[in-house]
Structure 1
Amino acid sequence: MLVTELLVGSALIATASVPPGAPPAPAVAVPTPAPLVVGDGRIVRLISLGGAGTDGLLTRIASATGDAVGAVERFWGTDWDHEIVVIAADSQAQFVAEAGLAPSGNWADIAAVSVADGVDFAHHHATGQRMVFAPGAAGMSAGSLRIVLTHELFHFAARADTALDAPRWLVEGVADFVARPPEPLPPDAAANTALPVDADLDVAGPQRERGYDRAWWFARFVADSYGVDALRRLYGQACGPGHGDFATAVQRALGADTAALRARWAQWLTR
């Protein structure tokens, strides 16, 4: 299975039931003998769905979880679930079923997802949260696996603060901002100075990869130009429960209109 190492996805859905026609996950999943404790007492439950590669993948995830939790807490704070569930699938069919993805979809370039069975926004609580890793994640480098883990952990942490109709591109861009170390923009970064849109993430392959990159660049641009606190405010205004339209969110969080924002974004891309 081909997994694009720095391309990850998150299923922004309130329920993650097994889709009709999807092969069921194994009836028995074997957790590690004892949960891992990281950070300020967060419990990490590592669950294998069987197979030869899952135990090794979970061992690598366990070694990177402390740093991932630290990165999420530095950006998002500590007010999120203290029990983290990580599941490693042995086959693509298991991954699709456990993650609640459409069996007919093209998920070959998705290394992991973060899903929940339900979200009670009024009480700021999500149930059945879990991060599910595809079998191809076992072949990722240590750095890329850390990025995927941190990206999905941000989705996990922000679940109760992320509306179901939030702009996916911004949700993914902020997750990548938390997870990915800064690096120089490619020479053609300024070829498209329009603001990102959700459709950029819908087509598997190079288009989706570039869509994730542009969403990440936008989050970096906001943090560079307005501050990290402003990026967090923008996420709340544009992606939180009861959010308004993007233009209103930009005005409230950044004190700018979208025309000025886009002009400044274009300048940032060509810096």
Structure 2
Amino acid sequence: MLAALLAVELIAAALVLAAAPPVADTPLIVGDHRSVVLDNRGGPGGAELLVRVAADIGAAVEAVEAFWGTDWSHRIEVTATGSERQFAALAGGVADGGDVSQWADVAAVAVAERVDPERRSAIGQRIVFAPGAEAMTTPALRIVLTHELFHYAARADTAVDAPRWLTEGVADFVARPGRAPAQAAATRAALPSDADLAAPGPRRAQAYDRAWEFAQFVAARFGTDKLRELYLTACGPAHVDPAVAVPLVLGIDLPGLLAGWQQWPG
């Protein structure tokens, strides 16, 4: 997956979203009676991007509902930004003069002002697109939108310290299921670290692919329902360590599961 398609999900500081202008009141209804609000801060390019988002959001919602169910926010806010600095500020709270280089290959993020998984509450959520997203192909944009929408849907059920290799891998599985592995089995030495997933450039692209392929493998071998159960067990508010969650849900220890993934699809 090209680095430009990747997205890093952060919970933005409350002051970032509190300082943002009001969201434009232009809702459309999709999926299980979900209201989509499109907020353009990117001029003509942002307007064009949001037209494309509006065309794809219904299919993205259907994909997320098919995997995750319908018990999640019925309000979806999507923002198009007009500059890299504006995107970085809304995405992660980068102040004036701060380094925005980490966002150079990020197409979109799903952010929230405040999250309380214990109460299944996520306040001030939105999906924020970088200005460069308007140049993406239609299939690539659909993947990014669906990936971020999964994070949006799962946010209230995802602990802050959940393993990112699983949260990102499952989001990519929902966004691009049923495709052949992108990397040779020999390159899957280990699951990606947080540092791998945060590093701009090819390292991050390869890390996302490894996480995605792991999720694909689990779904192919144990079924999609088991992948969802593994997510909830290893990433939910009362989550346990993956080394405990994997045998609990899948009936195999984590080293054995990783060995199977490293040889898959052989």
* 1:119 to partner: Cα distance: 1.3
- Give the corresponding residue for 2:8: 9
CA gap 1:204/1:50 in 2 versus in 1, 3 angstroms:
closer
Pairing 1:104–2:99 present? yes
**Partners of 1:257 and 1:268 in 2: CA distance:** 17
1:30·1:50 contact (CA, 8 Å) conserved in 2? Answer: no
**Partners of 1:263 and 1:216 in 2: CA distance:** 16
**Partners of 1:99 and 1:248 in 2: CA distance:** 33
2:138 to 142, 150, 167: 142
For residues 49-77 of structure 1, the C-alpha deviation after alignment (integer angstroms, 9 at most, x for no partner) is 14221100000000000000000000000
* 1:205 to partner: Cα distance: 0.4
For residues 164-192 of structure 1, the C-alpha deviation after alignment (integer angstroms, 9 at most, x for no partner) is 00111110000000001433234634223
* 1:244 to partner: Cα distance: 1.5
- Give the corresponding residue for 2:29: 37
* 1:219 to partner: Cα distance: 0.2
Give the structure-1-normalised TM-score: 0.90
CA gap 1:131/1:30 in 2 versus in 1, 3 angstroms:
closer
**Partners of 1:30 and 1:130 in 2: CA distance:** 10
**Partners of 1:56 and 1:159 in 2: CA distance:** 28
Q: What pairs up with 1:174-193 in 2 under 5 angstroms?
A: 174-186=170-182, 188-193=184-189
Percent identity of the aligned residues?
A: 56
Pairing 1:65–2:60 present? no
Range that drifts further, 239-248 or 72-81: 239-248
2:210 to 204, 211, 214: 214
**Partners of 2:183 and 2:211 in 1: CA distance:** 17
* 1:97 to partner: Cα distance: 1.2
SS in 2 for 1:52: helix
SS in 2 for 1:196: coil
- Give the corresponding residue for 2:240: 244
Unaligned runs of 5+ in 2: none
Pairing 1:203–2:196 present? no
- Give the corresponding residue for 2:79: 87
**Partners of 1:266 and 1:100 in 2: CA distance:** 34
Amino acid at match of 2:144: V
Pairing 1:54–2:46 present? yes
Give the structure-2-normalised TM-score: 0.91
* 1:159 to partner: Cα distance: 0.3
Structure number with higher helix proportion: 2
For residues 79-121 of structure 1, the C-alpha deviation after alignment (integer angstroms, 9 at most, x for no partner) is 0000000011011111111223444251111000001111122
Q: What pairs up with 1:115-126 in 2 under 5 angstroms?
A: 115-126=111-122
**Partners of 2:27 and 2:137 in 1: CA distance:** 24
Q: What pairs up with 1:153-192 in 2 under 5 angstroms?
A: 153-186=149-182, 188-192=184-188
* 1:258 to partner: Cα distance: 1.3
How many aligned residue pairs are there?
261
1:5·1:144 contact (CA, 8 Å) conserved in 2? Answer: no
CA gap 1:30/1:258 in 2 versus in 1, 3 angstroms:
closer
Amino acid at match of 1:261: L
1:16·1:115 contact (CA, 8 Å) conserved in 2? Answer: no
Amino acid at match of 2:89: A
**Partners of 1:124 and 1:199 in 2: CA distance:** 28
2:108·2:129 contact (CA, 8 Å) conserved in 1? Answer: yes
Amino acid at match of 1:218: F
* 1:265 to partner: Cα distance: 1.2
Range that drifts further, 129-138 or 174-183: 174-183
RMSD between aligned alpha carbons? 2.1
**Partners of 1:9 and 1:70 in 2: CA distance:** 22
2:185·2:262 contact (CA, 8 Å) conserved in 1? Answer: no
